[in-house]
Chains A and B, each alone.
Chain A
């Protein structure tokens, strides 16, 4: 049986009333972006959306929309005429693929009350037809193995029996914007995607320190942004901030065991400034309590001191394995573990402070004027937008 449509059910959008249309329109745009390049088309209404597959396979389209936030669940459906005979036949055909000895029931939703039969009648007529033409099945209305759903609408009928839950959440772009600190490791892309799931638009900042960090390391972060953008179904902007001068200054002037603390404070302070400039309402990072020296509560306390901005830490209490699982699910893991030096590893102190003191930190930083360095960095930011074609694909050669 080849399905011709996908029924898309909204997640938390259904809790909205007066501004529901705004959410639906954004979701529609995101799904449309994700379907770009396929024949499939999306139509939305107040309670659900319908994708017309136009000969694309259900599986292909499902993979495209799997991570679009705001979709609670989907069902592949057959859209048919409002004719009781057609409904009976379609349901029977569908049931013929159920395996031997399984039970089924028919469930009917009749949104159009003018249809010639009422819910009970449809259930009975279709149920007995399915049973007669499929002797290998039996009816069980309390705990069926399969439920065949029939939805009667004003001008059409849907028949389906599968139901797949996706991630829910709110449509990307309906919840304001946040700036993600993206290192290139396993955690930060996952943190970004977790926040994006709640509808928050993501922009990212990455610190690079050429020539100590390589082009490959930056390329890797760009690839991560590409993958995140595919997951979200929208473009993502990445700001690549040149951090070399600040880092070498810290390296020269701050004692080794406090250099990490100061580095993080500077990064956060730069992120806050960029957040303000880009209209981001919060900063997101992949911090995980106790994971490394910079992520102990004492470190967070001292590092966080540079900003009043809200910092979202969606992975704060996750187990590392949970984060790896999420990274695998989102498809960022393989790229994240590519072995290129980032700016955090090259000047890594031998013994970073696990419990840094704020007064000492302030004392060390007091002697240094970072201001001109920070502003110089902003002048040389490179902006990359996901899937920007910057490398040759060698089309003229191969």
Chain B
């Protein structure tokens, strides 16, 4: 399989898989137990926690492990919007957040949710953000890297605007950024991450947050994770996530450089094609391209026949019928939205994969040549 759907999920890297197995064998104890095994497991957990926050450049932040970014986003949003002492009712959010952010926010009907405009280049419009900021704003949430087209959002710029309103809590869904782009998260109050996007195991993630005692648990029970997330800690996955992050960060510059070359090659192969349109992208590993006149799904199916895996918009809602919010937000024409396909690369991709992809796309173009516009 030539796998080009790394923004949906990645294949676990070997060192992380080794760590997962080793931790299951050696540190299978409950981190809350007070016998030696439990203490040892708990030390491993705390070491992992320290290393995680320090590798992400926020060594002073607290960290709670979750089942992934969906839980992380839910945890932060629900904590902040159910607080009794909230003194405002406006929430600002970008138009292209993941459903685990947007749909969670929408459950709070007592808040006024305002959308920050996007530029045609796929970035948050900072001027519009400034206009929207007011004393009534209590919560701002923006993703670090967009999952559909791969644009990097100006997190530091947003942080500096938000910092002028002390009561605003600024959350960043960093799912697509970790291990791909170096971002300074210092002005951010909380960020959610998910392990399986950076070659770690599925079902594990974390929220890193600046201030103690501000988040409230979604899950109550045995009081793990300082009472913030009950349920026996998934230590093998935590350890494997941290190992995967180390691996990813160490190879990041090389990998991104290699992928930049692949991206250019794919661009060169199709940029002149009259029926193909490329959406803007700031990162080497995500390419969003539209086949004008044909549904993206058709292209995905044809490529799949050739053993090449790509995705329509985002895998999470590939089977949604409604048009993609990100593409709408940046003003993409309906026909281009319908024909859009996302190619997302990762550390395991090779030149051979890229050649197979180009061949498969050429084959698809021939197959659908009659309907292309």
Contacts and interface: CB of A to CB of B under 8 A. Distances in A.
Contacts of A396: 22
B117 interface: no
Given A215-B39, A391-B43, A393-B47, A398 B242 contact: yes
B22 A394 contact: no
A398 B43 contact: no
A394 B47 contact: yes
Contact of A398 (B26, B39, B40, B47): B47
B51 interface: yes
Interface residues of A, number: 8
A398 B39 CA distance: 17
Contacts of B26: 397
Nearest to A216: B39
B44, B47, B246: most-surrounded residue (chain A CB, <10 A): B47
B24 to A, nearest CB: 11
B239 interface: yes
Interface in B22-48: 22-23, 26-27, 39-40, 43-44, 47-48
Interface string A107-121: 000000000000000
A391 B36 CA distance: 12
Contacts of B239: 394, 397-398
B22 A397 contact: yes
Interface residues of B, number: 16
Nearest to B52: A398
B243 interface: yes
A394 B47 CA distance: 8
B357 to A, nearest CB: 35
B243 A398 contact: yes
Contacts of B242: 398
B192 interface: no
Nearest to A215: B39
Nearest to B239: A397
A397 B43 contact: no
Interface of A is mostly: loop
A397 B19 contact: yes
Contacts of A391: 43
Contacts of B27: 397
Nearest to B236: A397
Contacts of A215: 39
B39 A397 contact: no
Contacts of A392: 40, 43
Nearest to A395: B47
Nearest to A398: B242
Interface in B215-251: 239, 242-243, 246
A69 to B, nearest CB: 31
Nearest to A391: B43
Interface string A365-398: 0000000000000000000000000011110111
A393, A396, A397: most-surrounded residue (chain B CB, <10 A): A397
Contacts of B43: 391-392, 394
A272 B27 CA distance: 43
Contacts of B44: 394, 397-398
A398 B22 contact: no
A393 B246 CA distance: 15
Contacts of B39: 215
A128 B69 CA distance: 66
Nearest to B246: A398
A393 B23 CA distance: 14
A297 to B, nearest CB: 42
A266 B365 CA distance: 90
Contacts of A393: 47
Interface string A259-295: 0000000000000000000000000000000000000
Contacts of B23: 397
A394 B40 CA distance: 10
Nearest to B235: A397
A298 B22 CA distance: 59
Nearest to A214: B34
A392 B39 CA distance: 12
A396 B27 CA distance: 12
Nearest to B23: A397
B245 to A, nearest CB: 10
A391, A393, A394, A396: most-surrounded residue (chain B CB, <10 A): A394
B32 to A, nearest CB: 15
A222 to B, nearest CB: 14
Nearest to B47: A394
Nearest to A393: B47
A393 B50 CA distance: 12
A392 B26 CA distance: 13
A398 B18 CA distance: 10
Contacts of A398: 19, 44, 47-48, 51, 239, 242-243, 246
Contacts of B246: 398
Interface in A54-70: none
Interface string B2-26: 0000000000000000010011001
Interface string B243-262: 10010000000000000000
Contacts of B243: 397-398
A392 B40 CA distance: 9
B111 to A, nearest CB: 40
A393 B51 CA distance: 11
A398 B40 CA distance: 14
A211 to B, nearest CB: 12
25 contacts: A215-B39, A391-B43, A392-B40, A392-B43, A393-B47, A394-B43, A394-B47, A394-B48, A394-B239, A396-B22, A397-B19, A397-B22, A397-B23, A397-B26, A397-B27, A397-B44, A397-B239, A397-B243, A398-B19, A398-B44, A398-B48, A398-B239, A398-B242, A398-B243, A398-B246
Interface of B: 19, 22-23, 26-27, 39-40, 43-44, 47-48, 51, 239, 242-243, 246
- Across chains A and B, which 10 residue pairs bring their CB atoms closest together, nearest first? A398-B242, A394-B47, A397-B239, A394-B44, A397-B19, A398-B243, A398-B48, A398-B51, A397-B22, A397-B23
Given A397-B23, A398-B246, 20 more contacts: A215-B39, A391-B43, A392-B40, A392-B43, A393-B47, A394-B43, A394-B44, A394-B47, A394-B48, A394-B239, A396-B22, A397-B19, A397-B26, A397-B239, A397-B243, A398-B47, A398-B51, A398-B239, A398-B242, A398-B243
